Chains A and B, each alone.
Chain A
Amino acid sequence: MKLVFEKSAAGRRGLRIPKSDVPTSIHLKKEYLRAQPAALPELSELDVVRHFTELSRRNYGVDTNFYPLGSCTMKYNPKVCERIASYPGFAHLHPLLPQLRGGGMLTQGALEVLYETDLMLREICGMAAFTMQPMAGAHGELTGIMMMAAYHRDRGNHKTTVLVPDSAHGTNPASAAIAGYTVKTVPSDEHGCMSLSALKAMLNEETAGIMLTCPNTLGLFNPHVKEICELVHSVDGLAYYDGANLNAIVGKVRPGDLGFDIVHVNLHKTFATPHGGGGPGAGPVGVVEKLVDYLPVSVVVKREDGTYALEYNRPKSIGYIAPFYGNFGVILRAYVYLLMLGREGLERVAENAVLNANYIKEKLKPYYDLPHPGICKHECVLSAARQVKESGTYALDIAKALIDAGFHPPTMYFPTIVKESLMIEPTECESRETLDAFIEAMIAIAQKARTEPETLKAAPVTTPVGRLDETKAARELNIACL
């Protein structure tokens, strides 16, 4: 398929710009002007529409079919959320309006959405308050670690280290490092959970805190999680809950009840906002009472008369981590989703997500290795180790064969503590029929790995391009058409 630049024809126009209705035309000083217009493509509106429609057909979304990408919670994104986010009352609101004198009264609706979402997240996570500002999960992690640092600074603690388990998402160590901490990795035990003895050996007065995903990236709930938090507290460290896998326990367990001090929630996972091909997301961060003063400014508050306001005068705050109030359009979609689910609906989320993951796990257990048997939570991690040994069929080959069967592959090669891992997260939304079709496809692939492994090596054959040469992409770096 051609690039949009290759479809350009000199002089073609896609949009008529209105004629100027003012009598002035300014001629800026020449040294301030560019020598020639930016080399943007010249296309008709139809050209543009066809180009991007064609591109969209080379994509795969949740609306296309099953998308069991582990740790990403690719659940259905309700259409009503999109509709409401486009209401002019929300979409056309300038973010500086509430910073004008009396301007808070002009944005009461938007502040209400932020405040009410905060209240619901507090209840769901067992936290004292949330900031809605972080614009993604990783951004929430950084915000949380910055609050951790502010807490220790305030207490006069000299802390240097953040602990993360070896099964953690890469963002955890990266966030802690960027916030100025040294990262130490705690190994997992034979059950796939953080090793308590290793943790005890590593904890000391320099420990600022720990970052945990629970259930972890193997889909396992660590029964000792409360003990871990208590151990960390015993050296005045803080426990950070990475909410990437909240979908597994939402409505059943609250991170605050487990002893966590800081929580981030990926609204684009648990609360069904679209992933957008890789953003925008939103990663609100909740904290316990002793950390509320450190939340970023501004904070939305409800006044006694029932109106909402933004509070800026917070001397202990870590400051500004975003220009405004977070990815409002994303928060709004999550708010709508929460209102529609309600208490009962939210409880059904985890129940069905966990049922679906266990259903897949049990049905595929005879055909693939399952390094950590037993009840899993929202996702299960299989291994293609058997297939590699028997026929040289790798997790990658299985993933590509799934594409030809009409499915998006699971997450591959993560977590790294399982060899040839395939991490499958079905979410609560999928029907039994879809799960069965996926299971059948996985079984057929396992059989093919025995009988005709070479066909799997050739996959995918149904896509616009086959397997792409990633080495060439990095070696002959071409990242822009100039």
Chain B
Amino acid sequence: MPYISHTDQQRAQMLAEIGLKPEDLFSDIPPSLRCRPLNLPEGLSEQEVRSRLAAIASKNYIHLTCFLGGGFYDHFIPAAVYALTSRSEFYTAYTPYQPEVSQGTLQAIYEFQSVICRLTEMEASNASLYDGGTALYEAMMMALRLTRRNKVLVDDSVNPIYRVMLHSYTRNLKIELTETENAGGLANREAIRRALDEQTAAVIVQNPNFFGCIDDFTDLAEAAHSKGALLIVSCYPISLGILKAPGAMGADIVTGEGQSLGLPMSFGGPYLGFMATRKEYVRQMPGRIVGQTTDAQGRRGFVLTLQAREQHIRRDKATSNICSNEALCALTALVYLCLLGKEGLRETAQLCADKASYAYQRLTAIPGVRPHFPAQWFFNEMVLDLPCEAAEAAAKLIERGYAAGFPLSRYYKGMNNSLLIAVTEKRTKQEIGMLAEELEAIL
């Protein structure tokens, strides 16, 4: 039997030694509660399961040239990332409840918290959350607790997938979640200022936003603070290689999706939510936090700290119900950022921007293709208007081998012809050129 080592003889001996018969083991369960034999297939050998799963995997189209983004990107992953994160001392461990035998995980999380702070220019980070969407939800809840208010403003330039998540999570709560409509591709200052009042807990924005447009929220931070509200910024960590950090804009809570930091796209997960904030707010931050300390001999070590915020102590009064984080994904992001280093991340971000800029030139040279937000600067993703329905064009381009982008009609009214196109450092000049040729051919 796979993964069970007792022989029948050993089992019989063990039972005999503790004075039990086989049927005694489940004698505490009334027979009427026992189930019928399960209707499941016979077990497979490793050889069989590998060939079956290889066949299933081959039904997925992974050979499309990927210009799909929307917050989830096809970035290059160095070989050393997986070589290190696949060390079983990391991945077969659990939450570091026993710090003496968990210094590997604990120090890595401390270092992860540190790189997140350095990237976002914030003072405190947690050990990670499930993904960028739940991280944004947790940030919103944190702001509600910190301000003891009940209104939240979110601009519709924030990832629409995250916005629908916020709506789902707040449905049973007494929270007024209001969306403002972007102004020309950027967060709508006028509408946000108008809606901001003494009951507003937070303003939620994103940079670069869902349309790929770059913004500077310094003014919004001031506007929010003047009413006693907090500014929450969701961001794309690769862009922070060159873009102004949310901390430098005056953000109070920064979240984001860490998938771009060395994690495969893996059909939507596991991903990595990160969160950073000001030191004064750390006691309202959800999730695990690792802190530095010493042992009796003065040796530096790391432990889980501020646990009085958490569910296993505070139960229904906890800052969040989260128990585990995404430790292995946080480790992945840390290894990735250490390999790239200070210059490597800057160069990667610049390369993404340069290639996107080239794609913009090539694609907008096609007759009938125009930028949707011509006045805005973008990082590595852009909204282009096609002379036809974007969903239709994208479907045709799939047949030609391109995941050309994400049609915005699904989430934005009146943007039927708009296609959101992402370009990472992995895309070559040739691939970009071919996309332009194919797009022109189908229009």
Contact = CB atoms under 8 A, between A and B. Distances in A.
Contacts of A469: 293-296
Contact of B4 (A22, A325, A428): A428
A378 to B, nearest CB: 11
Contacts of B351: 17-18, 20
Q: Which of A94, A99, A178 has the most CB of B within 10 A?
A: A94
Contacts of B252: none
B267 A100 contact: no
Given A466-B299, A470-B303, A22 B432 contact: yes
A58 interface: yes
Interface residues of A, number: 202
A87 B353 contact: no
Contacts, number: 691
B354 A375 contact: no
B434 interface: no
A258 B315 CA distance: 26
B101 A60 contact: yes
Interface in A270-308: 272, 274-281, 296
B60 A90 contact: yes
Interface in B360-415: 361, 377, 379, 391-392, 394-395, 398, 403, 406-407, 410
A323 B162 contact: yes
Contact of A479 (B66, B125, B133, B316): B125
A123 interface: yes
Contact of B100 (A29, A83, A113, A466): A466
A142 B94 contact: no
A311 B343 CA distance: 44
Contact of A468 (B34, B99, B114): B99
A326 B338 contact: no
A432 B6 contact: yes
Nearest to A272: B3
Contacts of B356: 26
B342 A362 contact: no
A175 B314 CA distance: 12
B391 A468 contact: no
Given A101-B391, A344-B42, A325 B267 contact: yes
B291 interface: yes
B43 A275 contact: no
A279 B326 contact: yes
B245 A38 contact: yes
Contacts of A327: 269-271
A92 interface: yes
A318 B425 CA distance: 38
B267 A95 contact: yes
Contacts of B5: 429-432
B340 A467 contact: no
B441 interface: no
Contacts of A138: 311, 321-324
A439 to B, nearest CB: 11
Interface in A349-397: 349, 351-352, 354-355, 358-359, 362-363, 374-375, 377
B306 interface: yes
B210 interface: no
Nearest to A274: B91
B108 interface: yes
A174 to B, nearest CB: 4
A125 to B, nearest CB: 10
A468 B295 contact: yes
Contact of B57 (A37, A88, A106, A179): A88
12 contacts: A26-B353, A28-B353, A29-B377, A60-B101, A62-B88, A75-B3, A96-B406, A112-B59, A146-B168, A319-B171, A342-B44, A352-B11
Given A252-B29, A339-B41, 5 more contacts: A17-B348, A21-B428, A77-B91, A278-B324, A319-B171
List the 4 closest A-B pairs by CB distance, nearest first.
A89-B57, A324-B268, A342-B43, A319-B168
